[in-house]
Structure 1
């Protein structure tokens, strides 16, 4: 038996497919040396050790009928066939780095020995009769198709004959009207992609409005074209490389006549995490459960998930992790935290929880509902109650902070009143993780544990019990050094954006109290760029003794929170590094009461909102170390009121 010839694999069951693929992958994918001379040897090995192995369990022994074939193909032979990438498959996602890596590998193999075959791996196809439907390998094959288009373009520019390349790109056929047309050997059936490939092949410009996948197709073409022109400035050298590319690069094409077999092989090849996204593996698992006639409907639901995540530039894997931890029991994982590299294994072992096998549409619908909630919480609008707290969290914890989204997904059963309150609670929880420097792994472990209870909360009463019995005790443990942590708080110990948020929240709270309110609606006024952090004791100070400090004390206290206040930049430009007595006059012009009242509180009547506010504040006629410490203490008391868990 010659391995390069088409052979049928006498295997039927999933176990046989697994065993066969293991042999193909482990024995063939690493035989890059002497590939051609070893074809017959490895073919014989596979036949003897797999197809006629007497020690195999009965369920894995060969069956009389067959469903699977394999072919060893060069690029030259592979592109004499027609391939389609159906719209339910993943769109073209390769970026410049993946394209460049493939090109670099090809060039390295060519420079090492242009007469030695170079193995590219396997592709999995479903043979529909007239064409091969790509199940695995579409990213590579699409890139090679674009590579052929780039070679054709360069050949044309140099007046070279292109017929050989063109015969690999398309072949003439007759349409329903009897007209002869060119049918591309690779057809992408997802949105806009087929049109983009045609434009690329014809050397036309990139359209103004195309999908993200279309952008990547054009990017790949430019990357390839630039690479070829840089590496082969002489057309004669490029032509030699093309000979190697077409005839010495090879891969195994696995062909099935049953779409379920193709999907199973895809899963088998990729389940060990060889660079594929568990989101794609999950999609494959779900599609395997439905009849082919339902693919289009299921694919529409799946695309609504992926496109929603794309719109907010969210990593699908992060959503998938949080979706699983929020909705299902992950206590079998260490600390209840599901790692990205364990997602596929967990899903494979937990159909009993997820029911994606017996109810795939319902499972995908649940994912879609969670994505909708995820997007709303990631990009909160002004309409939903409590969203101001969701807007505050990235201002406090940073734009990349997402851990709280896990709990928000788990809270999907809460009624609107409870959910609004839960958003406020989460801001407070995140605040204490920041102030008390709780490690991310501890926070994630805690949130994952909380998800189990949060899933069952519906009413405010349920939530209050959870806060009292679970959240408050946990946060109190975190807060053992909270006061001392806060009293050291400042620009020396925390990022400026966080300090500005804390100042903004306290300032807004005081302004609200002054108006007789107890809640802060929006912090936009306090965090915008027109509002600056003012150092009351100026950063540039020639006479530090004026503030009762030596050089060392000055370096510590200058950036303490107690020495900072928010001030409109129009006022700040006027005072610069003036002394406190002069600055105080300008502070009184500020619209922020906590700033305007630094040197003097305003009293109006008795038992008024402003007087009740004044009872929480202090003022200072002189500014020194003691004043800074007292003001920091005042901020601490206010912070405990603002972020109190109740």
Structure 2
């Protein structure tokens, strides 16, 4: 590797061509970045004491990739964005001179083009100093040649060059002053020898913060950078570029990174942290060294197509109907599992009906949990591990058993729990209210009703100043009834006549044009059977809708014989790692056991989703998948560790000890000793703080 500080304009002079590899991202500088560079140029020009301005480095491969020509072709590894932007400035500068808008004594327009933009003595593509990637290439060439742009040209290339041209024309600086400023620009010229240097390692060190490139960008470069150009172009064009085009149709660019994270989760069963997806991917590839680069890219390509179908549109209308419902719930954490199921369908391990059954079970699981307000922060780990719980020789039964066996915060809510919470939940302010009403309305319908064409209607009005007629219908407790039942299932429906219905009496809402009796909607037919609307009416209709909901979002069921078979397997798999409180029996004294029971009761009462998990060396209390307090019983005391950094909690009594650098059993850096019941209250306050801190963190 050779690194040299050099004048940028001198760096461009002489026969050479900088080639942006096909796998590099396209030109992406925004107006904000261009404005910053232009401000720097003006400042440089005005500061006579400033002899140089450092721009950064340009890293390229000097040997070993391209055939020998009269023009050395240099493969740019890093710095292509600033190299492109500076070339756009030079293009704009030469155009202003060529159009005689301003004059310059220091250099001519022809020399700017011949020195810095073209290899003047060459033909074909070798005449251009800079060859960009993908559609940027033709746009940049058309810009230099003053050709008409193609319909799908790179708008950013054109817009940024125009921005600099406008700045040059309107600037108070002369062209000579601008040219002198450009002459002060300095870059570090880093030339790599492919036979001696490792471009990938150098590229990683230059992009170690991960701020400039997305995780997907880094992975693409990791795959393609080390290959020969023809192989790069083949794999990029055949797979990666096609996948990027599919992802471009999704709402934002972050979907590609999220897909890669889900792909690694699916393959390894471990969820990488957002900023470390690239590292996790490299580890996965290293562990699967028997696979070729093409085999891995093909696999990524296949799962990427599944991901796009799941999150955008599937060409199969039957599957698309199912996928649309999953999208409506916005449960991205299920994607690793759903992609695996989709792959099993493509590989003919399951048929379409089985695929639909699996997806409907997942939909019911997620929706029932949302209705029952079960925390979602454990769902990603649940779905990451779920495919391992499936016996592919008995796919559906094993999945149903896996759901049935889940308890505590992972549970699949029963019909009773689902019904109970559905009847009392504030559904008007529920995130998935439209999804709920759409599914209830369209159950078993072939002519689908588009809920988006309707608005939510409160049968008993929202107006706190209810009319005398409504007060009479509801009875003397009308205020309490309105407060308790207003936003609940029984009182909500859909209408296209919201303004007409407004706060009218129930009899008017029934009979007017567009009213409940005149409506084609099933939800309104369930209202029109009533002659009055009061507490009992709301409850009765809520029960009708809840029964329908139990049919729409079904729970898994298995016969006792089948369940016993999977229960046996479940017990066998758990027996190796599960512990009960008896495992720690010898550690307790009668006094500390009593103290432990008191403490356990208080901790479990913090939240209904808090659960105890006995480990080999300590007893954990968890919210979701996260320990927030760990206990270790002894004869004289109970050791307590809080899963927080020392100093994070408000501890006025200084009960916590800093064990950050001291070996200990539990999680976290705060250790407390509980010796008597009198210390319970202040310790519980600290445990409560730890719970709040940990419950706020997404797993």
The CA distance in 2 between the partners of 1:283 and 1:164, in whole Å, is 38
Moved more, 259-268 or 365-374: 259-268
CA contact (8 A) 1:382 1:388 kept: no
Shift of 1:78: 2.1
**Structure 1 residue 413 corresponds to structure 2 residue 336:** no
Pair 593,174 (structure 1): closer, same or farther in 2 beyond 3 Å: closer
Residue from 119, 138, 141 that aligns with 2:54: 119
Change (3 A) 1:582 1:632: same
Contact 1:418 / 1:463 at 8 angstroms: preserved in 2? no
Compute the displacement of 1:487 (Å).
3.0
What is the match of residue 142 of structure 2? Answer: 199
Q: Would the aligned equivalents of 1:117 and 1:250 in 2 still touch at CA under 8 Å? A: no
Paired residues of 1:562 and 1:628 also in contact (CA < 8 A): yes
- Could you list the runs of 5+ residues in structure 2 that have no partner in the other structure? 557-699
**Residue 506 of structure 1 aligns with which residue?**
440
1:140 Cα shift? 1.9
Say if 2:531 is the partner of 1:583: no
* Contact 1:435 1:482 survives alignment (8 Å): yes
| 2:527 is aligned with 1:632 | no
Give the match's secondary structure for 1:566.
Answer: strand
How far 1:182 sits from its partner (Å)? 9.1
State how far apart, in whole Å, the 2-side matches of 1:113 and 1:424 are.
71
Aligned-pair distance for 1:559?
A: 3.2
Give the corresponding residue for 1:394.
327
Q: Which residue in the other structure is 1:91 paired with?
A: 26
Pairing partner for 1:525 from 443, 449, 454: 449
The answer (yes or no) to whether the contact 2:8–2:187 under 8 Å persists in 1 is yes
Equivalent-residue separation in structure 2 for 1:433 and 1:153 (angstroms): 64
Provide the aligned length of Structure 1 versus Structure 2.
524
Determine the structure 1 residue equivalent to 2:309.
Answer: 376
**1:447-462 equivalences in 2 (<5 Å):** 447-453=383-389, 459-462=395-398
**Residue 438 of structure 1, CA deviation:** 4.4
Conserved? CA contact 1:428–1:645, under 8 Å: yes
Evaluate the alpha carbon distance shift between residue 451 and residue 471 of structure 1 in structure 2; reply closer, same or farther with a 3 A threshold: farther
Quote how far apart the aligned CAs of 1:199 are: 2.8
Using the TM superposition, give the Cα deviation of residue 111 of structure 1 relative to its aligned residue in structure 2, in angstroms.
Answer: 6.6
Give the direction of change, closer, same or farther, for the CA distance of 1:545–1:108 in structure 2 (3 Å limit).
farther
Kept in 2, the 8 Å contact 1:326–1:455? The answer is no
1:321 CA drift (Å): 0.3
Report matched runs for 1:457-472 at 5 Å: 459-470=395-406
Question: Which residue of the partner structure matches residue 81 of structure 2?
Answer: 139
Structural RMSD (CA):
3.4
Aligned position for 2:256:
316
Instruction: Select the residue among 333, 339, 351 that pairs with 1:403.
Output: 333
Flag the 1:101–1:422 CA change in 2: closer, same or farther, 3 A.
Answer: farther
2:523 matches 1:594: yes
Cα distance in 2 for partners of 1:457, 1:310 equals 37
SS of the residue aligned with 1:588?
helix
1:426 aligns to what? 362
User: Which segment drifts farther, 589-598 or 482-491?
Assistant: 482-491
CA drift of 1:454 comes to 5.4
Per-residue CA deviation, residues 211-242 of structure 1 (Å, 9 max, x unaligned), is xxx1232233244445556xx63242x64344
* Structure 1 unpaired stretches of 5+: 1-67, 331-336, 513-519, 601-619
Q: Do the aligned partners of 1:126 and 1:259 also contact (CA within 8 Å) in 2? A: no
The answer on whether the counterparts of 2:372 and 2:413 sit within 8 Å (CA) in structure 1 is no
Q: Does 1:443 align with 2:390?
A: no
1:559 aligns with 2:469: no
State the secondary structure of the residue aligned to 2:119. Answer: strand
**What is the DSSP-based 3-state SS (H/G/I as helix, E as strand, rest coil) of the residue aligned with 2:24?**
coil
Deviation at 1:361, TM superposition (A): 0.7
How far has the Cα of 1:479 moved from its partner?
A: 9.4
Q: Give the Cα separation in 1 of the matches to 2:42 and 2:362.
A: 53
For 1:466-490, what per-residue CA distance to the aligned partner results, in whole angstroms no more than 9, with x for missing partners? 3334599823369997555433434
User: How far did 1:368 drift?
Assistant: 0.7
1:219 aligns with 2:159: yes
User: Cα gap change, 1:108/1:354 in structure 2, threshold over 3 Å: closer, same or farther?
Assistant: farther
* 1:253 counterpart residue number: 190
TM-score normalised to structure 2 length: 0.67
2:313–2:320 CA contact under 8 A, matched in 1: yes
Contact 2:21–2:75, Cα closer than 8 Å, also in 1: yes
Q: Deviations over 1:236-263 (max 9, x none)?
A: 2x64344223323323333324497333
SS at match of 2:56: strand
The answer to whether the 8 A contact 1:206-1:218 is kept is: no
2:172 corresponding residue in structure 1: 234
1:493-542 CA-to-partner distances (Å, cap 9, x unmatched) read 324xx222212211222xx3xxxxxxx567x414241x332221234543
Give the aligned partner of residue 11 of structure 1. none
Structure 1 distance, partners of 2:510, 2:300, is 56
State yes or no: 1:184 paired with 2:128: yes
C-alpha distance after superposition, 1:558-607 (max 9, x if no partner)? 3333211123x2x556544321112222312222233124242xxxxxxx
User: 1:79 deviation in Å?
Assistant: 1.9
CA distance in 2, matches of 1:244, 1:478: 73
Bigger shift: 624-633 or 450-459? 450-459
Deviates more, 1:542-551 or 1:427-436: 542-551
Contact 2:59–2:191 under 8 Å retained in 1: yes
Structure 1 distance, partners of 2:88, 2:418, is: 59
Residue deviations 1:264-287 (CA, integer Å, cap 9, x gap): 422332244242222222223223
Q: Retained in 1: the 8 A contact 2:419–2:550?
A: no
Aligned equivalents of 1:114, 1:430: Cα separation in 2? 66
Preserved contact between residue 432 and residue 479 of structure 1 (Cα < 8 Å): no
Q: Which residue of 1 aligns with 2:605?
A: none
Residue 164 of structure 1 and its aligned partner are, at CA, apart by 4.5
> Contact 2:23 / 2:224 at 8 angstroms: preserved in 1?
no
Deviation per residue, 1:287-319 (Å, 9 max, x gap): 356455422222222222222212334521111
Pair 1:165-2:89 in alignment: no
1:329 counterpart = 2:260: no
Q: Secondary structure of 1:441's partner? A: coil
Match of 1:275 in 2: 212
CA deviations on 1:427-486 (whole Å, 9 max, x unpaired) are 112213432344453222322232444596773344334333459982336999755543
Q: Shift of the alpha carbon at 1:109?
A: 6.5
Aligned to 2:425, the other structure's residue is in SS state coil
Q: 1:458 and 1:88 mapped to 2: Cα distance?
A: 43
Conserved 8 A contact 1:413-1:456: no
Out of 542, 549, 565, the position equivalent to 2:467 is 542
Q: C-alpha offsets along residues 323-354 of structure 1, whole Å, 9 cap, x if unaligned? A: 11112232xxxxxx212211122223333444
The 1:491–1:104 alpha-carbon spacing in structure 2 relative to 1, beyond 3 Å, is farther
The question of 1:302 aligning with 2:230 is answered: no
Give deviations 1:70-96, integer Å, cap 9, x for gaps.
232222122224212132333223344
How has the CA–CA distance of structure 1 residues 149 and 466 changed in structure 2, closer, same or farther, with 3 Å as cutoff?
Answer: same
Instruction: Give the SS at the match of 2:55.
Output: strand
Of 304-313 and 470-479, deviating more is: 470-479
